Amino acid sequence: MARLDQLGRFSSRGVPVFLALCAGLISACTTAGPPQDAKQTSVPSPSASAASPSSDKPTDPAEVAKAEAIATYVKYWDEMEKSYATGRVEGTDIKKFAAGAALARPEAEVPKIAKAGRAFTGEVGISTSTVTKADLDREVPSVTLSSCIDVTKWIPVDRQSGQPAALPSERLTRFVALTTLEKWPDGWKVLTDEPQTGRPC
């Protein structure tokens, strides 16, 4: 992942906001009280956008493709949570759902966090995911998503004690992310996932 300009803020290249937490992990103090897990998503699944089995209307292929892309983004974050909780990308299915920069970031950062004796626990909330751009007729179909990401309950903790690390007071916990995905032969892949600085949600 791109480096941070300063604790709790992002570089102009758009480092995901949740990784602003990583800048102070090695030297962070711990505080009392374990984090709470809560995942809230209002993202439609492919089945939600497709016509029901009892419907006589044909399913719109474009709408199905968009819903599949959104579902892939949710699965990508599921695997991100596993990677940052276990300190290993290996053993997760993240490579099924990510490639390029979206895969390179956890591959680079997860080992550093684990080496620092930290892990991330809890869950990331994803809501209001919508397709803002779609190019489904080209050889490699692509879409761009806009989502609200909530990392309030995704917390860095000491790996041994389980106690949460101290966090910067200015940490942004809800923000808009723009995500690009492509449909490869083995399914949709998240290629980039960039926060929009100054766009809380």
Separation CA 172–CA 19 (nearest Å): 11
pLDDT over 60 at 58, yes or no:
no
> Which tens digit of pLDDT belongs to each residue from 167-181?
887 888 899 999 999
> Residue ranges of the domains in the chain?
35-46+59-195
Contact assessment for residue 20 and residue 156, using Cβ atoms and an 8 Å cutoff: no
Q: What are phi and psi of 140, to 5 degrees?
A: -115, 100
The one-character DSSP state at 6 is S
> Rounded to two decimals, what is the model's pTM?
0.73
Q: Tell me: domain 35-46+59-195, CATH 3.30.450, correct?
A: no
- 181: nearest Cα among 125, 107, 101, 62: 101
Indicate whether 155 pLDDT > 60. yes
**What's the pLDDT at 170?**
80
Burial label for 191, CB within 10 Å (0-12, 13-18, 19+), is middle
* Residue 118 binned pLDDT confidence (cut-offs 50, 70, 90): very high
